[in-house]
Chains A and B, each alone.
Chain A
Amino acid sequence: MIVKLDNIFKTYGESGSEISVPALNDVSLSVAQGEYVAIMGPSGSGKSTLMNVIGCLDKPSSGSYFFENQDVLKLKDKQLSDLRLHSIGFVFQSFYLMNEETALENVALPLSYAGVPKKEREKRAAEALTKVGLAERIKFRPDQLSGGQKQRVAIARAIVNNPRVLLADEPTGALDQKSGAAIMELFQKLNDEGTTIIMITHDSNIASHAKKSYLIVDGKLLEGPSGQEVDE
């Protein structure tokens, strides 16, 4: 198992107080190497919270989490940064690209954190952009790109360090259907090449691209049959 969550609870605010919000309620989830998993659920059900926990951005209130047999909850801030840098790729609904930088510079950013020399950075960033079909756009800045192209730049940035797991939170949420479909095609290709993908969405059509899907409702994770439609 590459990701192994057991009995995860996450409560925002002080537990027991009036403002406390239980976002994850006894969630257990195991994802094996090479899997393609979708997590669906209505808005506010805890999808992003779960993704933040899986992505080592947030700590659960209780439970255990192992990433490639490492006890994530025992790692220090620096080690968590390095884990995110080398083993996890992030794709967000709103891209988070730096507008003053070219596509190439955006994609090369994680490589600079990994201490890759400039020449090598540019070479690998260009390769990643080629992989997502933007070989012609490497010198473009985000405001010169369409939404779908921006998301593909973000995906190139997520995969440039060859992560084990790609985490995507509503990757098509801001895109039209056609661009969304192109992203799904790209995910399929990456998964075929061996990247483990965990994708969060509230769109069952999108979720149907995954090989396995889960449903999360009010912080509880329910196993859903693969490819089955889930109503919101």
Chain B
Amino acid sequence: MFENLRLAFRGIWTHKLRSFLTMLGIIIGIAAIIAIVSTIEGTNQQIKENLIGSGSNAVDIAIFQGEWEYEFEWSGIPEGVSVISDETIKEIKDLKEVKNVSRYNKRNVFGNVFYKDKNLTTGFIKGVEPDYFETANFSALKGRLFTKDDEKKFRRVCVVDESIMEELFNNENPIGEIIEVDDTPYTIVGVVASRSTFEPVINTIEDYALYHQDDSGTIYIPHADWAISYCFDEPENIMVQAKSTDDMTAAGKKATDILNKKIHPEDETLEYKSKDLLEQAMKLQQLTKSTNSMLIWIAAISLLVGGIGVMNIMLVSVTERTSEIGLKKAIGARKSKVMWQFLTEAAVLTSLGGFLGVASGIGLARIISIVAGTPVAISWPAAIVAVIFSTVIGVVFGIIPSHQAANLNPIDALRSN
């Protein structure tokens, strides 16, 4: 075995250029696979990290009309959908995946928010219960958030986010300033820090649709004040906090089911839907997987072509070394010995190609990551599998040439010289 390896390396070294060219197909195939797998892995890890890193495990559940979030400012209060009762909230809170749940109302801003003579063009107004910020994992950047007292006393106070602070106040401290929301003045008591947002790589329109749930530009008023500015019977959305990242999907589904059982909308396209980040992330992973599985196929074909190249060169090599093989057989090498020698040579050739492929694949992944900005995680199991796989290719495509070598008639072989 060791002797075969020595002979194989010597053979490869003697024909350096030819060996390299033969390996090229394998190198390219393996490099492509490693680069693709590393990129997938990197994206997956980043998605997971961002989700866990955000630490909120918050699932936003809102009323949808078909594909779009229902817009109260245009469509009014829908028939058959009532406000969410305390019993329903308790039922959701009792779910084993759920840690906390909080109701809120929401409308789009359309020119109805002013600070002095400055008009806010886009954004959201939310009427939130005091525990909303905790549930959604928002913390105060400046001032304070809402208290039970604000709620009880119907205080005209509001909390804005950083983006409002920037847009209406040029990043000056807005605490104590008064803004008008639909003609009702509210005093700003706090600024929330935006959650460390999940920033997926957006490659396609679909990715954009999946991830476009920009919360920035929100003005929060106490839930109790909602009836002052808007309607007292306006159905709410909820923010659910799951116990863990892995619970997010289940928590979202179960809470949505509970909510949907309570409503009997005339418009049958109306329903609660969860905007589960984890589920969306998985969808994105699925998406990248399916496009990448195509690339993996292409790489596999390149490996096949590489394997055929190896077979071709090995056949040439058998022909070239006819007299060497003949002599070996004449002086007592068994068929199996010759067979193994050539199989070893083919396997060493492709394994070497595999190693070089893994190395260039890692390099390629790094380059892609720099150029395209995608994250990369080198998958060592994949690298090991790739090298083993290339060894297998060598053995498989080496069988025919080795068999041919082993069955050479030594007399014909010796006479050919």
**What residues of chain A have their CB less than 8 Å away from a CB belonging to chain B?**
52, 55, 57-58, 77-78, 81-82, 84-86, 89-90, 92, 94, 96, 98, 100-101, 109-110, 112-114, 118, 157-158, 161
Contact = CB atoms under 8 A, between A and B. Distances in A.
Nearest to B335: A77
A110 B327 CA distance: 11
A86 B417 CA distance: 25
B291 interface: no
B410 A57 contact: yes
B140 to A, nearest CB: 76
B330 A55 contact: yes
Nearest to B321: A98
Contacts of A92: 327, 414
A84 B324 contact: no
A81 B334 contact: yes
A96 B411 contact: no
Given A57-B330, A57-B411, A110-B331, 16 more contacts: A55-B330, A57-B410, A77-B334, A77-B335, A81-B333, A85-B332, A85-B333, A90-B330, A96-B324, A100-B14, A113-B328, A113-B331, A113-B333, A113-B337, A118-B2, A158-B331
A226 B372 CA distance: 88
A113 B411 contact: no
Interface in B322-342: 323-324, 326-335, 337
Contacts of A101: 10
Contacts of B337: 113
Given A58-B411, A92-B414, A112-B3, A84 B14 contact: no
Contacts of B335: 77-78, 81
A78 B331 contact: no
A161 B331 CA distance: 10
A146 B330 CA distance: 24
Nearest to A98: B324
Interface of B: 2-3, 10-11, 14, 323-324, 326-335, 337, 410-411, 414, 417
A109 B337 CA distance: 12
Contacts of A90: 330-331
Nearest to A97: B327
Contacts of B330: 55, 57, 84, 90
B15 to A, nearest CB: 10
A84 B331 contact: yes
A71 B323 CA distance: 28
Contacts of B3: 112
A163 to B, nearest CB: 10
Contacts of B329: 81
B417 A110 contact: no
Contact of B331 (A58, A94, A157): A157
Contacts of A78: 334-335
B411 A84 contact: no
Contact of A94 (B11, B324, B334, B417): B417
A100 B331 contact: no
B10 A100 contact: yes
A147 to B, nearest CB: 15
27 contacts: A52-B411, A55-B330, A57-B330, A57-B411, A81-B334, A82-B332, A82-B334, A84-B331, A84-B332, A85-B332, A86-B332, A89-B331, A90-B330, A90-B331, A94-B417, A96-B323, A96-B324, A96-B326, A101-B10, A110-B331, A110-B332, A113-B328, A113-B333, A113-B334, A113-B337, A118-B2, A157-B331
Given A52-B411, A57-B411, A96 B327 contact: yes
Nearest to A157: B331
B278 to A, nearest CB: 60
A58 B329 CA distance: 12
